[in-house]
Amino acid sequence: MNLPAPPIAASSEIPDVLLSLFIVLLAAKIGDEIFKRLKQPTLIGEILAGVIIGPAVFGLVEPNQTLEVFAELGVVFLLFWVGLETRLSDLAKVGGTATRVGVFGMILPLIAGFFGARLIGESTETSLFVGAALVATSVGITSAVLLDLKALKTRAARTILGAAVIDDVLALVLLSIVVGIADTGGVDVFSLLIVIGLSLGFLVFVGFGGIQLVRRWPDIFHAPKFAESPLLPAIILCLGLAAIAAEIGLAAIIGAFLAGMIVAETQDKHDFEKEVAPLYAFFPPFFFAFIGLQVELSAFGDPLVLVALVAVTLIAALTKFAGAWLGARAMGAKEALIVGVGMIPRGEVGIIVAGIGLGKGVIDGNVFTVIVGMSVLTTLIAPTLLKRLLERP
């Protein structure tokens, strides 16, 4: 029975949206189970499931806004969980190294991307966008692998998390500069200072401030008013900080990570972890599968595009690895390797930056496709390497 759309919020699309949620979750679970048996990182199975049911292969499901929101909530709850497992003091201990990892891990891909694009004749604006798209690490992917292997408490994991926060602030500043140049040909120093001020202010006031607040009132989520369950107030905090971070222009997951660290300061962290677990089981598969849903294979029929994809992926992976490894090399050979590999995945972040460039007409469809392909490939390469490194005695 095909009923027409009622005027309020397209109600008749609900059955189809439910169906797409069902198909994505089922496919992701199947991919997950297959890769568990193959002893490969399960998130790769979920991403490939997205590729298979998506436009690239069978076209059963198109990316839609609801799926995108579920994907975003997937990585938000993932980083909330990671925050629950992280203490500020642990991050502070690796602060210096994390900063070096973040900075070097940004500079090398930016330079390589910019000059690489210039070399093949792209304009300055386009080359800047390519450089920017190569910069930002998607910490969601690495976090999932670290969680899966129960390696979140290691020093290398802390360093990656700290570096990811710094990486995201740097990427935001860089993106603001690049967008400014594309829009007006120059950089508006004043609005740049606002971006920097807002993002640092958010980190310091909300992160440190929130943690101090909860340390002073450790039962704040357990006050009699929330007697029933402290879960919902914690989830509301997570959504709120994620939304604010996203409105500022930072990644939503930075807010979720801070929210997790704040909640972790309350007394009975373990109750939270048990309560959040079902949300963590439900949403993240959408995050991984959605990456796969965004893959388009048709453009790679052109051998030039395919060559560009391989080259860009190698440059993106090697320069990020080299920069992060350089920043972390004081930690010793093995840990520097883990940090270097852990920073490689670009995931959804590279796709978003490329999308902005495409929207501005600064990069064309082929460059966009190559960057999306690079984001997915770096995301597929890193977990397998990381799993091997972490499981090696």
Task: Tell me which residues touch its own copies (CB under 8 A).
Answer: 1, 3-11, 13-19, 21-22, 25-26, 29, 33, 63-69, 72, 76, 176, 179, 191, 195, 225-226, 229, 231-233, 235-236, 239-240, 242-243, 246-249, 252, 275-279, 281-282, 285, 294, 351-352, 354-356, 358-360
What type of residue sits at position 268?
D
> Least distance from C-beta 162 to its own copies, angstroms?
24
Q: Among residues 158 and 346, whose Cβ is nearest to its own copies?
A: 346
CB 371 within 8 A of CB 312: yes
Return d(Cα 154, Cα 213) in angstroms, integer: 27
Q: Among residues 206 and 338, whose Cβ is nearest to its own copies?
A: 206
Return d(Cα 258, Cα 83) in angstroms, integer: 6
Q: Among residues 38 and 232, whose Cβ is nearest to its own copies?
A: 232
> Least distance from C-beta 254 to its own copies, angstroms?
12
Return d(Cα 164, Cα 172) in angstroms, integer: 12
CB 266 within 8 A of CB 219: yes
> Least distance from C-beta 274 to its own copies, angstroms?
9
Return d(Cα 94, Cα 321) in angstroms, integer: 18
> Least distance from C-beta 19 to its own copies, angstroms?
4
Return d(Cα 88, Cα 106) in angstroms, integer: 23
Q: Among residues 140 and 285, whose Cβ is nearest to its own copies?
A: 285
> Least distance from C-beta 298 to its own copies, angstroms?
15
Q: Among residues 7 and 303, whose Cβ is nearest to its own copies?
A: 7
> Least distance from C-beta 198 to its own copies, angstroms?
9
Return d(Cα 162, Cα 339) in angstroms, integer: 11
Return d(Cα 258, Cα 169) in angstroms, integer: 14
Backbone angles phi, psi at 204, to 5 degrees: -75, -55
> Least distance from C-beta 296 to its own copies, angstroms?
10
b or e along 145-163 (b: 16 or more beta carbons within 10 Å of the residue's beta carbon)? bbbbbebbeebbbbbbbbb
Q: Among residues 22 and 58, whose Cβ is nearest to its own copies?
A: 22
CB 255 within 8 A of CB 241: yes
> Least distance from C-beta 104 to its own copies, angstroms?
26
**Six-digit token string for 43:** 């998130």
Q: Among residues 207 and 342, whose Cβ is nearest to its own copies?
A: 207
> Least distance from C-beta 122 to its own copies, angstroms?
19
Q: Among residues 55 and 57, whose Cβ is nearest to its own copies?
A: 55
Q: Among residues 295 and 343, whose Cβ is nearest to its own copies?
A: 295
b or e along 303-324 (b: 16 or more beta carbons within 10 Å of the residue's beta carbon)? eebeebbeebbebbbebbbbbb
b or e along 248-263 (b: 16 or more beta carbons within 10 Å of the residue's beta carbon)? bbbbbbbbbbbbbbbb
> Least distance from C-beta 41 to its own copies, angstroms?
15
Backbone angles phi, psi at 2, to 5 degrees: -100, 105
Q: Among residues 16 and 268, whose Cβ is nearest to its own copies?
A: 16
Q: Locate the DSSP E strands across the chain.
A: none
Nearest to 318 by CA among 113, 130, 47, 115: 113
